[in-house]
Amino acid sequence: MEMTTLLRANIRHKKGSFISVLILAFLIVTTAAAVIGVKKNVASALERAQKESGMGNMNAIIAEKLLTDELLQKVKDSALTEKVDVIDAVASYGKAIYLRTGNWTGNTYFFSPLREGLRLYDPDADSFEDTIPEPEPGEIYLPLGNMSKHDCAIGDTVRVEFFDKTRDYKIKGFLQEPCYGSMMIGWKNVFISGEEFDKLSRELRAANTERVVNTYKIVRASKADKNLSDAKFQRELNLETGIISKAVGSLSMEQSETYTTLFMEIILDVVLGFVCVLFVIVLVIMIHSIRTEIDIDYENLGILKAQGFTDSKLTGIILLRYVIAELLGMAAGLIASVPLERVISGIFKNITAVLPDKRVALIGTLAVILAMLAVSVLAVFISCRRLARISPVRAISGGRKDIYFQSRLNAPISGRFLEASVAYRSFSSSFTKYLGILFITAVLTFFTVTVNIMGAAINSRSALSSMGVVLPDISLYFRNDKAYDHISDYESIVEKYTPISKKIYGTMQYYSLNGENIMCEIYEYPEVINGLLKGKLPMFDNEILVSRSAADALDLKIGDKVTVEGRSLKAEYIVSGFYQTMNDAGYAMSMSLEGAKRLGATRSASHDMVVADTSKVRAAVDELNERYGDIVTAEAVDFQEEMYNDTVMLGADAMKITIYAFSGIFALVAVIIVCSNAFTRERTDLGVLKALGFTSRRLRAQFALRFFIISVIGGAVGAAAGSLFSVSLLDLVFSTFGITKVYPDSTPLTYITAAAFVIICVTVFAYIVSGKIRKVEIRELVTE
Partner 1 sequence: MKDAILTARELCKSFAHGGSQVHILSHIGLEIYKGDLTVIMGASGSGKSTLLYALSGMDRATSGEVIFEGQDLVKMSEKQLAALRHTGFGFVFQQMHLVSNLTLFENVAVAGYLNKDKSAAEVKERASQLLEQMSISHIASNLPSQVSGGEQQRCAIARAVVNSPRLLFADEPTGALNRRNTTDVLDLLTALNKEGQSILMVTHDLRAALRADRILYLEDGSIIGELTLPPYDPAEEKSRETQVNAWLSSMHW
Query: Binding to partner 1 by residue 436, rule CB under 8 A?
Result: no
Q: Please choose, out of 370-378, 398-406, 654-662, 708-716, the segment that lies near partner 1 by the rule CB under 8 A.
A: 398-406
What is the tally of helices (H) and strands (E) in the chain?
Answer: 25, 22
Q: Return all residues near 505 (Cβ < 8 A) that are at least 6 apart.
A: 523, 524, 525, 593, 604, 606, 607, 608
Handedness of CA 259, 261, 267, 269 (dihedral sign): negative
E-assigned strands of 115-230? 119-120, 139-143, 157-161, 166-176, 188-192, 215-223
Nearer to partner 1, 98 or 767 (CB): 767
Query: Binding to partner 1 by residue 425, rule CB under 8 A?
Result: yes
Nearer to partner 1, 5 or 414 (CB): 414
Name the nearest CA neighbour of 638 among 52, 278, 32, 102. Answer: 102
Nearer to partner 1, 641 or 784 (CB): 784
Query: Binding to partner 1 by residue 422, rule CB under 8 A?
Result: yes
The least distance separating partner 1 from the CB of residue 687, rounded to whole angstroms, comes to: 7
CA dist., res. 783 & res. 690, Å (int): 17
Name the nearest CA neighbour of 246 among 61, 85, 112. Answer: 61
Nearer to partner 1, 239 or 688 (CB): 688
Tell me how far CA of residue 20 lies from CA of 213, 282, 433, 667, in angstroms. 65, 9, 19, 11
Residue from 182, 250, 292, 426 in contact with partner 1 (CB under 8 A): 426
Rounded to the nearest 10 degrees, the angle between the axes of helix 696-721 and helix 748-769 is: 150
Residue from 696, 723, 735, 736 in contact with partner 1 (CB under 8 A): 696
The 8-class DSSP code of residue 723 comes to: I
Nearer to partner 1, 358 or 774 (CB): 774
The least distance separating partner 1 from the CB of residue 711, rounded to whole angstroms, comes to: 20
Nearer to partner 1, 211 or 401 (CB): 401
Q: Map residues 639-678 to x or -, x wherever contact with partner 1 holds by CB under 8 A.
A: ----------------------------------------
The least distance separating partner 1 from the CB of residue 265, rounded to whole angstroms, comes to: 51
Query: Binding to partner 1 by residue 408, rule CB under 8 A?
Result: no
Query: Binding to partner 1 by residue 403, rule CB under 8 A?
Result: yes
Handedness of CA 427, 430, 431, 433 (dihedral sign): negative
The least distance separating partner 1 from the CB of residue 418, rounded to whole angstroms, comes to: 5
Q: Please choose, out of 163-171, 180-188, 254-262, 402-410, the segment that lies near partner 1 by the rule CB under 8 A.
A: 402-410
The least distance separating partner 1 from the CB of residue 440, rounded to whole angstroms, comes to: 23
Query: Binding to partner 1 by residue 480, rule CB under 8 A?
Result: no
Nearer to partner 1, 206 or 691 (CB): 691
The least distance separating partner 1 from the CB of residue 705, rounded to whole angstroms, comes to: 15
Q: What is the DSSP string of 384-415?
A: GGGGGG--HHHHHTT-PPP-----TT-----S
Nearer to partner 1, 312 or 684 (CB): 684
The 8-class DSSP code of residue 520 comes to: E
> Which helix H or strand E contains 440, and what residues bound it?
helix 435-459
State the Rg of the chain over Cα.
Answer: 32
Cβ(718)–Cβ(442) under 8 Å?
yes
Query: Binding to partner 1 by residue 694, rule CB under 8 A?
Result: yes
Query: Binding to partner 1 by residue 577, rule CB under 8 A?
Result: no
**Stretch 269-288 residues interacting with partner 1 (CB under 8 A):** none
**Stretch 704-763 residues interacting with partner 1 (CB under 8 A):** none
Nearer to partner 1, 212 or 296 (CB): 296
Q: Return all residues near 6 (Cβ < 8 A) that are at least 6 apart.
A: 304, 309, 317
Residue from 12, 211, 408, 416 in contact with partner 1 (CB under 8 A): 416
CA dist., res. 531 & res. 533, Å (int): 6
Neighbours of 269 (CB within 10 A): 15
Binding residues for partner 1, rule: CB under 8 A, are: 401-406, 412-416, 418, 422, 425-426, 429-430, 684-685, 687-696, 777-779, 781-784
